[in-house]
Structure formats: C-alpha cells, structure tokens
Amino acid sequence: MSLNIPLPLFIALPLAVAFLLPLFGTKTRGFASFIAVLTTAALLVFSIFSFGRFEVYCVGRWTIPLGINLVLDGISALMLLTISIVSFAAILFSNRYMEQYTAKSKYLSLFLLMVTGMNGVVLSGDIFNLFVFLEIASIASYALVGFGCQHEELEAAFKYMVLGSVASMFVLFAVGVVYGNTGSLNMAVISKHVAENGLNTGLAFALALFIAGFGLKAALVPFHAWLPDAHPSAPAPISAMLSGVLIKALGIYSLSRIIFNVLGVSVPISWVLITLGLLSMVIGALLAIGQWDFKRLLAYSSISQIGYVMFGIGLAALILSKKGNPVWASLAMLGGLFHLMNHAVFKSLLFLTSGSIEMSTGTRQLKELGGLAEKLPITRSACTIASASIAGIPPFNGFWSKLILVIAAVQAGFYTLAAVTVFVSIVTLIMFLKVQRYVFLGELPENLKSVVEHRGLMAFAMIFLAVLCVLMGALVIYEPFRVVVLDNAVNALLDGLAYAGKVLNAQILNGQ
C-alpha cells in the first residue's frame, strides 16, 4: 500500500465538513447527506491505507516535547479502521432513518464531530490533546443521544452528560497529576520517565483516576449506569456508534494505551482490569437476559461484550507482569483486540436492525412483536447473522475471538476464567434466541399485518455489516490479514514502555 495519507487529514476532513454541513438548508439536505457519506467513505479508504505504517507527525514542525504530535502505529490503525467501518454503515443507515427527525444537517454535523473526536483520540501523542479530542466526541454524543428532544431522550442525555462530565473530570485531574510528576504531557516523554524512574505514588494515583475516568467512558461495571438509558433513547445509528466505537475509542483504547505504553503494567493493575472485565461480562449478560425492550437488551449486552475485550487485555497484562510465556500474552491480547473489532461490527448491526424493526413497526418491545420473518426478510437475516456472531456460533467472527480468549486463559493456567467466558457466551446465546423467538417467529400480531421493510441504503448498511460478520470469521485464519491488521496492533501494546523509544527515534528519522 503506497498511498501515504497525512495523519492530520483523519481529523481535519471530518472537522471541516462538520462545520460546513449546517449551512445546508432543508432543500439541500440530500446533498448534505451525500457529502457526509462521501466523507466517511473517504475516511474508510484512508484507514485501509494506514496499515503497515509507523509514523509520527509533529504539528507545525514543533519537535517533541514542545509541540503537539500525532502517532500512527498498529493499534491506532486498527481503531481508525474500526471507527471508519461503523461510521460508514451508520451514516448510510441515517440517510433514510433520520428523515423522521428535523434538522438533519445538524445531526450530520454532530455525527462528524463525534468521528473527529474519536480519530483524534486514537492518533493523539500527548495526554492533554487526548483529553481535548475525548471532550469533542463526548459533547457531540451527548447532543446526539437527546436528538429526538422528547422527555425520555433529554433525560437520558442529561444523565449521560453528568456521568460523562465526571469521567472527563477524572481524566483531566489525572493529566494534571501526571504533568506535576513528570513535567511533560507527551506520552513518549512520560513513558521514558517511567522507564527510567519507575512509578511513584503520584503517578499511581493518576493511574487510578485514569481507570475510573476511562472505565466510565467504556461503561465497564460498576461505571455502567449511563449506558442502558442512553442506548434506548438515541437514534438507532447513534446507538450503533456509541456501542460500536465510542466506548472503545474513548474508554478501552485510551485506558490500554495509558497502561501499556505510558505508565506500564503491573500485577495489581492487571487484576483490576481482569476483575472489571469479568464483572462486566457476567453482570451485563445477566441483566440483559431479563430485558423486554430490544435496545435496552442490546445496551446491557454491550456492557457484557466490552467485558470480553477488557478481560483479554487484562489477561495479557497479567501474563506479562508475571513474566509468563509471551506467546500466551500475545494470544490473550489478540483475542481481546479481535473481539473489540468484531463487537464493533456485530453490535452495530444489531442496533441497526433494531432501528429497522422500530421504524417499520413503531415499537421495540419484544412482547408486542412476532412473526416478522416474512415481513422483514433482510432485517431478519442480518439480525440472525449478528445474533450468531455475538453468541459465538461458528463460523462467524465472534466465535473466533471468544475461542482465542478461552485458549489463552487455559494455556496460561486460568481455568476458572476460561469457564466464566464460556458461561457468559451460553447466556448470550439464550438472550438472542429470545430475540429471534419474540421478534421473528410465532404469530404476526393483527396490527403488524401491513408492516413494510425499508430498503435502499438502510438495507445496504445492514448487508454490509452482515457480510463483514461472515468475512472476518474467515479472514482470521488468513495470515496476511492477521499479521497486518491484528498482530501489529497486538505488538504495539505489548511493546510496553518501548513505545517511547520508537516515537522519539521516528521523530529523529523524520528530521523533526
């Protein structure tokens, strides 16, 4: 791949378009939608060409640590691709779905601001600008959750905003503590300081604040209270973005980057990550199985599935901290990051199918549905594929990431942890069999006899993600895909504090 995309373009392009879109009136909102789709499609292409590169971009050619810098490595490239895939599908689905709302151009503007913030978070090379981009994405998401302006939406948006602001406060305080202890905000310089001097009490306190702040952003148990209200209230494509990529970019990625590449791993911190992962897996699944609101069920399921990701990352950290076999650490990290990517695809698809069902029937209550298999064939097929993926049914993508996590846990000697992951997968299967039973099977209610499925771009978005659920399950055994997309991301985190040397050397090589 020879196309060298300038790193600032991932941030500047959606930001510039976001400011232009509100200028379009109601008569030109079709053109506004076209521009938004084109922007997300361009970002998807750019993200594909970002793989296989390690690059440090110093903004304004100010050298580290004087200026702002952007860093592209394996984990950044993986996150950019994941964000771009979900954003592209969600914006396609929005083209028809958001017709039922007013001010569509403002919705598109907020959507692209959220993408801008997420791209900035995963590329930022210093912790203060990571916080700035995190706030851009967060503020846009608060507005998008309450976009319907009904009582339920506004209440959920307010609750999300309050808890999100608490999370941001934790992160900002942590940034201040780190600066006070190291004299720098640059991740590479901080990492070098920690490698030379170790983790003092102040930095340990900052790490605790980071875990609380990013844990809230990721909706990990016990920091999850905002998510079950935000998801049902948000428009379906925004639910797909929140669950698919926002909680990962602002929460999981940020926490992983800080722990592995900046402040370093340790046995106590590893057990904290594993515990957060296990609690989220089990509690999220058990709460989800009792829900009758389809989107609320999916929201609790997101908490459970993000627990798988955190469990894999925590297990890798524990194996590294105990000087265990690096092969099993790599396998655990591979399972966690692959599940991050898989969950982004199949959970986004599930939220889009919930939007299709609600738009066609006017309800998302499982007990009010039934017999929709023939009325909504594309939605039913997409929902079935996504349900099989999230439940870990072979050969779909979710099966492989869960299998990798189980193998890593068994090989590292954590048999109980492996058993818990299998148990949660069984519970997940039961909850999505419930969805299939109450939504698509059984007798069609009299008031749903005239239901019509919405086709066009809405259907295309669902088909696109459904194909990925199948394709990613096959690609994991294809070595070039695994090496370029997954192994580089795994190595970027497992390099640990060596991240500092790579960034600083890259700056020297680039003549900056």
Query: At CA 319, angle to CA 318 and CA 321, rounded to 5?
Result: 60
Residue 441 has pLDDT above 90, yes or no: no
Q: Which of 53, 109, 116, 57 is nearest to 84 (CA)?
A: 116
Any idea which residue has 């976009």 for tokens?
Answer: 147
The residue type found at 401 is S
Q: Which of 358, 345, 369 is nearest to 463 (CA)?
A: 345
At what angle are helices 74-97 and 29-48 packed, to 10 degrees?
160
Q: Which residues contact 244 (CB under 8 A, 6 or more apart)?
A: 82, 86, 90, 343, 344, 345, 347, 348, 351
- What residue segments make up the domains of the chain, in order of their start? 282-476
User: How many alpha carbons fall within 13 Å on the CB side of residue 417?
Assistant: 29
Q: What is the pLDDT of residues 289-326, one digit of tens each?
A: 988 888 899 999 999 999 999 999 999 999 998 888 88
Q: What is the pLDDT of residues 80-136, one digit of tens each?
A: 999 999 999 999 998 888 877 777 888 899 999 999 999 999 999 899 999 999 999
Query: Residue 114 and residue 119: Cα distance in Å, rounded?
Result: 9
Q: What is the pLDDT of residues 182-226, one digit of tens each?
A: 988 999 899 998 988 888 899 999 999 999 999 999 989 888 888
Q: How many Cβ atoms from other residues are within 10 Å of residue 331's Cβ?
A: 23
3-state secondary structure of 92: helix
CA dihedral 210, 216, 221, 227 (to 10 degrees): -170
Q: What is the pLDDT of residues 316-344, one digit of tens each?
A: 999 998 888 888 999 999 999 999 999 99
Residue 28: per-residue pLDDT: 66
Please report which confidence band the pLDDT of residue 451 belongs to, taking 50, 70 and 90 as the band edges.
Answer: confident
**222 prior amide bond cis, ω within 30:** yes
Q: Which residues contact 41 (CB under 8 A, 6 or more apart)?
A: 88
Q: Which residues contact 408 (CB under 8 A, 6 or more apart)?
A: 312, 315, 316, 328, 331, 332, 334, 335
Mean pLDDT across 419-446? 89
Polymer length in residues for the chain:
512
Residue 27 has pLDDT above 70, yes or no: no
Residue 151: per-residue pLDDT: 72
Classify residue 173 by its DSSP letter. Answer: H
DSSP 3-38: ----TTHHHHHHHHHHHHGGG--GGGHHHHHHHHHH
Residue 442 has pLDDT above 90, yes or no: no
Residue 7 has pLDDT above 70, yes or no: yes
Least confident of 90-94, 250-254, 485-489: 485-489
Please report which confidence band the pLDDT of residue 420 belongs to, taking 50, 70 and 90 as the band edges.
Answer: very high
Q: Which residues contact 243 (CB under 8 A, 6 or more apart)?
A: 231, 298, 299, 302, 343, 347, 348, 351
What distance, in Å, lies between the first and last C-alpha atoms of the chain?
24
Query: Residue 399 and residue 98: Cα distance in Å, rounded?
Result: 33
Looking at per-residue pLDDT, the higher value among 499 and 316 belongs to 316
Please report which confidence band the pLDDT of residue 473 belongs to, taking 50, 70 and 90 as the band edges.
Answer: confident
Residue 1: per-residue pLDDT: 44
Residue 461: per-residue pLDDT: 92
Q: Which of 44, 1, 38 is nearest to 17 (CA)?
A: 38
Buried b (16+ CB within 10 A) or exposed e, 462-478: bbbbbebbeebbebbee
**Residues 48, 472, 332, 219, CA torsion sign:** positive
Query: Residue 349 and residue 366: Cα distance in Å, rounded?
Result: 18
Radius of gyration of the chain (CA): 22
Residue 370: per-residue pLDDT: 82
Query: Residue 489 and residue 226: Cα distance in Å, rounded?
Result: 29
Backbone angles phi, psi at 455, to 5 degrees: -105, -140
Q: What is the pLDDT of residues 41-77, one digit of tens each?
A: 999 999 999 888 888 888 877 777 777 889 998 899 9
Q: Which residues contact 99 (CB under 8 A, 6 or more apart)?
A: none
Residue 26: per-residue pLDDT: 61
What's the chain's average pLDDT? 88
Residue 178 has pLDDT above 80, yes or no: yes
92 token code pair: 């396609």
Looking at the DSSP bridge assignments, the partners of residue 57 are 70
**395 prior amide bond cis, ω within 30:** yes
CA dihedral 83, 128, 14, 92 (to 10 degrees): 30
Q: Which residues contact 271 (CB under 8 A, 6 or more apart)?
A: 314, 318
When mean pLDDT is compared over 60-69, 284-293, 481-490, the highest value belongs to 284-293
Query: At CA 383, angle to CA 379 and CA 387, rounded to 5?
Result: 175
Q: What is the pLDDT of residues 155-177, one digit of tens each?
A: 888 888 999 999 999 999 999 99
Least confident of 9-13, 59-63, 76-80, 268-272: 59-63
Q: Which residues contact 63 (CB under 8 A, 6 or more apart)?
A: 507, 512
Quick check: 287 and 429 in contact, CB under 8 A? no
